Every structure is written in structure tokens, then in C-alpha cells.
Amino acid sequence: MELGELRSVQERLASRGGRIAAVSVDAPDLSRSVHDKLDLPFPILADVDRATLRAYGLVHQGAGPGGCDVAVPAQLLVNPDGKILWRRTARLIQDRPSPDAVWASIEPLLPSG
């Protein structure tokens, strides 16, 4: 799932009071250029020190440029009290769910709009 494809999920999620946030290890200025280029309706958060990746258990050691750690691609739905309602990780690098598949998974878990 590419970030730009998430636009349609963000629209449907927003109508149910929710939102999307993307997280990567990129510094904010790099994320800003991506954010501007794709004109994303949700923020890209910068986990530069990988503390959030470690807390979530999503570190892919040495898989980034120059052998740095990057995220294992993953999506999770968190409700307002912090409980994880749904989660998915990629088994293969090319394993990206379609936006419709993600929406079909999370829609039944959301409070009715």
C-alpha cells in the first residue's frame, strides 16, 4: 500500500471520527517533501531515533540505506483508550494490502458513523 493510496481510507475513516498517521524513520524535512509531493491529508511522523519502532517491536535491523534500521511495514488500528483493535504486518517486502482491503478489515471495528 503506497502512502498516496491511503487518501481514500483517510476520507472514509474521517467520516467515522478517525484518522491516519504514517510513521517512518525519515527525518521531518524528507517527510515534508514526500508529504507535499503526494499532498497527503494525514501527517507523517518521524521516528528518527527508532524508539517507537522498538516499543512496537517493528524494527527491521540493518535493512535501510547504509545498514540502518527501518520499520517492518505494518498497520494497526488503535481506539481512543489505546487498545489495539486490528493489526497487520508484511511477511514479504512486496506484501502491501490494497486500501479497500484495509478498509474492509477496519470498518466493522469502528463505532458506527
Partner 1 sequence: MTDQLKNAPPPHGPRRATLPALLGIVLSLLGPIAYVFLLKVPFLRLTGLAAFGFMIAGCVVSISAARADRRLRVRALAVVNCGLLVAFAYAMFIWARMPETPRFAELERAPAFELLDQDERPVSLTDLTSTGAVLLVFYRGHW
Positions 58 through 97 that interact with partner 1 (CB under 8 A): 58, 60-61, 63-65, 70-85, 87, 89-97
DSSP label at residue 4: G
104 lies in the binding site for partner 1 (CB under 8 A): no
Evaluate the CA torsion angle 75, 108, 81, 12 in order and state its sign: positive
Among 39, 67, 108, 111, binds partner 1 (CB under 8 A): 111
Among 4, 11, 50, 53, binds partner 1 (CB under 8 A): 53
Asked whether 10 and 35 are in contact (CB, 8 A), the reply is no
Number of residues that bind partner 1 (CB under 8 A): 72
CB of residue 100 vs partner 1: minimum separation in angstroms? 10
Of 4-23, which residues contact partner 1 (CB under 8 A)?
A: 6, 9, 13, 16-23
Angle at 83 between CA 77 and CA 87, to 5 degrees: 35
Pairing label, strands 59-60, 70-71: antiparallel
Q: What is the dihedral of CA 8, 60, 90, 96, to 10 degrees?
A: 40
CB of residue 36 vs partner 1: minimum separation in angstroms? 8
98 lies in the binding site for partner 1 (CB under 8 A): yes
Among 4, 8, 30, 41, binds partner 1 (CB under 8 A): 30
N residues, the chain = 113
